[in-house]
């Protein structure tokens, strides 16, 4: 685990616990009750950092608290804990539910609001969940539904949305492709834009749509899902598309995976869920498909068996019809591995050289975006010699030298061809988390170009961009919601825990990385690291299914 991250979490957890202790003291709680609350607050902050909404109260046992009954009594005596039966505004800071889940009140409230919203939609059959992996036809299915609905109700108001700008754009592209097969009159009724969820919710207190379609719903955290459900108009239909086997949201909660899980098959909810299993992209003979399924099932031995165990790197583009490659590269990336990663950007470098040579006052970034979106390096971690930061530094230097020569300073931040990914929404500029731009020289200096839905581009001065980062290489988390023809996936070094970030290497992360590739993927790493990741499953602690059952039973 990254030491700085871990120390920061310790400090935050301890400060939060001290605040709870002070509040309990002000309310006259006995000393044991204060200590119980401080321990609970500390553990809940750690749980939130892991993406959990709650903890089992038994986790607090130990020391002076030797029995569950004594621990419960101490917590309830603090005046900071309630059983969750009150309205949101009346909840105490901590909630202990009937099953023994302990929450911070805000997360319990999020979970309960989600459950009420989902239950209301399911009972009125205004909820549709389409679950399946990449290539199973989720988008095609919903587009057919939409076309049929618009044919019968021309005035149907529809919003397309996704958690990131890139995922929203991909959804709009899929809609445009489907529109080409429809009668012209019907195609004109299709939505002409897609939103990030943050932008959509920021624009409307109550969403004025009959249908709200959300792609990449596996990325919905509890806070965002609660906000979305609370903003739906009474007549709205909510359609969620997602893959429960992908990475969950960065923030706390895994709403889609919990709702789609077999354990959550509540009678009123089950008819609203469609699970797609046939893969149209990866057939039964596809080694990428076989690898993805083995990873998804947790079959590490079968996953390793699909990998062509060959230490000879094949240059991207010279695949001889193969689609899966393995480079056994264990510690610091070897020279041959680095050369392999850099070679994937040769088409991008060629397109960039053409653009720079034919530079005009308004350069055309379209060929560069086409080349960039065909190949990308992904890494499981951010720090260390095999992390995204190191890869981006190496790849940026490679592109600078091949396009600009050795005369450019190696630490030059902005150079023609630098791709960047936006890391924070900026509503004033209309730039959103996940949007990708490319720096190019223009008449008034260096500008960063971003594609628009109609195929054009918008240009911004680098100085006014919201927080961003170089994007030759991406973390797997940042790549979610995107696809590329070819992927190079760099695993962390074996036996090097200092290279790992706070988020562990898991089955879901490996599966997400593999399924970003449409045609081929190369994995660079050690077999034991790969196998251990497949065997480590993400299990987020939450109680959404329990909240739903409570509501349905009531």
- Pairs from 57-62 (Cβ < 8 Å, separation ≥ 24): 57/96, 57/100, 57/101, 57/102, 58/100, 60/36, 60/102
Query: Other C-beta atoms within 10 Å of 245: how many?
Result: 23
- Confidence check: pLDDT of 440 > 80: yes
Contact criterion met (CB below 8 Å) for 418 and 396: yes
Contact criterion met (CB below 8 Å) for 322 and 299: no
- Confidence check: pLDDT of 173 > 60: yes
Region 234-247: mean pLDDT is 93
Contact criterion met (CB below 8 Å) for 375 and 316: yes
| pLDDT, position 388 | 93
Instruction: Report the alpha-carbon distance of residue 117 to residue 230 in Å, rounded.
Output: 7
Q: How confident is the model at residue 99 (pLDDT cuts 50, 70, 90)?
A: very high
| pLDDT, position 486 | 92
Looking at CATH, the fold of the domain delimited by 330-404+412-525 is given as: Rossmann fold (3.40.50)
Query: What per-residue string of b and e applies to 149-177 under the rule 16 or more CB within 10 Å gives b?
Result: bbeeeeebebbbbbbbbbbbbbbbebbee
- Confidence check: pLDDT of 325 > 90: no
| pLDDT, position 361 | 67
In this structure, are strands 94-96 and 81-82 parallel, antiparallel, or unpaired?
parallel
Extents of the domains making up the chain: 7-96, 110-280+540-553, 330-404+412-525
Torsion of CA 340, 342, 344, 347, to 10 degrees: -140
Contact criterion met (CB below 8 Å) for 256 and 229: no
| Between 232 and 493, the higher pLDDT residue | 232
The answer to whether the 110-280+540-553 and 330-404+412-525 domains have the same CATH topology is yes
- Name which of 4-18, 50-64, 319-333 the model is least confident about: 319-333
166 is in an annotated binding site: no
Ramachandran angles phi, psi of 460, nearest 5°: -135, 150
Average pLDDT, the chain: 86
Spatial CB neighbours of 368, under 8 Å, sequence gap ≥ 6: 348, 351, 352, 355, 417, 438, 440
Instruction: Report the alpha-carbon distance of residue 291 to residue 286 in Å, rounded.
Output: 9
Beta-strand runs (E) in 243-358: 273-275, 324-328
Looking at CATH, the fold of the domain delimited by 110-280+540-553 is given as: Rossmann fold (3.40.50)
Task: List, for residues 465-510, the tens digit of each pLDDT value.
Answer: 999 999 999 999 899 888 899 999 999 886 444 444 445 788 999 9
Region 94-122: mean pLDDT is 95
- Confidence check: pLDDT of 318 > 70: no
Instruction: Report the alpha-carbon distance of residue 365 to residue 457 in Å, rounded.
Output: 8
139 is in an annotated binding site: yes
Region 398-411: mean pLDDT is 68
132 is in an annotated binding site: yes
| pLDDT, position 265 | 58
End-to-end CA distance of the chain: 44
434 is in an annotated binding site: no
321 is in an annotated binding site: no
Contact criterion met (CB below 8 Å) for 229 and 111: no
Task: List, for residues 407-422, the tens digit of each pLDDT value.
Answer: 554 557 888 999 999 9
| pLDDT, position 5 | 54
Question: For the whole model, what pTM was predicted?
Answer: 0.88
Instruction: Report the alpha-carbon distance of residue 549 to residue 112 in Å, rounded.
Output: 11
Task: List, for residues 368-386, the tens digit of each pLDDT value.
Answer: 999 999 999 999 988 888 8
């Amino acid at each position: 685990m990254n030491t700085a991250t871990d120390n920061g979490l310790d400090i935050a957890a301890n400060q939060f616990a001290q605040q709870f202790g002070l509040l309990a003291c002000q309310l006259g709680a006995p000393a044991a009750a204060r200590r119980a609350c401080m321990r609970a607050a500390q553990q809940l902050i750690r749980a939130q950092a892991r993406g959990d909404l709650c903890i089992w109260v038994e986790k607090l046992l130990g020391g002076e608290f030797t029995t569950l009954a004594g621990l419960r009594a101490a917590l309830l005596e603090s005046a900071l804990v309630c059983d969750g039966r009150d309205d949101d505004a009346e909840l105490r800071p901590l909630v202990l539910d009937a099953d023994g889940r302990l929450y911070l009140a805000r997360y319990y409230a999020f979970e309960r609001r989600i459950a009420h919203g989902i239950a209301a939609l399911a009972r009125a059959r205004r909820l549709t969940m389409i679950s399946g992996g990449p290539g199973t036809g989720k988008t095609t299915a919903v587009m057919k539904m939409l076309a049929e609905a618009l044919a019968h109700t021309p005035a149907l108001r529809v919003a397309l949305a996704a958690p990131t700008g890139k995922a929203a754009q991909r959804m709009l592209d899929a809609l445009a492709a489907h529109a080409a097969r429809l009668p012209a009159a019907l195609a004109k009724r299709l939505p002409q834009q897609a939103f990030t969820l943050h932008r959509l919710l920021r624009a409307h207190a109550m969403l004025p749509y009959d249908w709200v379609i959300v792609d990449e719903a596996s990325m919905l955290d509890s806070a965002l899902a609660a906000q979305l459900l609370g903003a739906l108009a009474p007549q709205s239909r909510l359609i969620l598309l997602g893959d429960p086997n992908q990475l969950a949201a960065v923030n706390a909660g895994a709403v889609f995976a919990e709702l789609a899980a077999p354990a959550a098959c509540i009678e009123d909810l089950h008819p609203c869920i469609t699970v797609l299993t046939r893969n149209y992209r990866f057939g039964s003979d596809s080694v990428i498909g076989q690898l993805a399924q083995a990873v998804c099932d947790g079959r590490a031995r079968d996953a390793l068996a699909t990998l062509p165990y060959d230490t000879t790197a094949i240059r991207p583009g010279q695949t001889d019809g193969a689609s899966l490659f393995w480079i056994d590269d264990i510690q610091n990336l070897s020279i041959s591995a680095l050369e392999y990663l850099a070679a994937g950007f040769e088409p991008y470098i060629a397109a960039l050289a053409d653009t720079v040579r034919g530079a005009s006052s308004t350069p055309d970034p379209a060929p560069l975006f086409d080349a960039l979106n065909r190949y990308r390096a992904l890494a499981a971690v951010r720090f260390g010699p095999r992390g995204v930061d190191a890869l981006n530094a190496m790849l940026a230097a490679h592109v600078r030298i091949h396009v600009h020569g050795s005369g450019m300073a190696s630490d030059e931040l902005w150079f023609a061809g630098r791709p960047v990914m936006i890391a924070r929404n900026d509503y004033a500029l209309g730039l959103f988390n996940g949007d990708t731009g490319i720096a190019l020289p223009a008449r008034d200096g260096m500008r960063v170009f971003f594609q628009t839905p109609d195929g054009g581009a918008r240009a911004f001065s680098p100085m006014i961009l919201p927080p961003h980062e170089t994007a030759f290489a991406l973390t797997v988390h940042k790549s979610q919601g995107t696809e590329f023809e070819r992927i190079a996936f760099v695993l962390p070094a074996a036996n090097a825990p200092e290279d790992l970030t706070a988020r562990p290497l898991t089955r879901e992360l490996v599966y997400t990385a593999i399924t970003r590739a449409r045609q081929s993927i190369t994995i660079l790493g050690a077999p034991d690291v790969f196998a251990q990741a497949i065997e480590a499953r993400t299990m987020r602690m939450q109680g959404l299914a329990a909240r739903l059952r409570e509501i349905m039973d009531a």
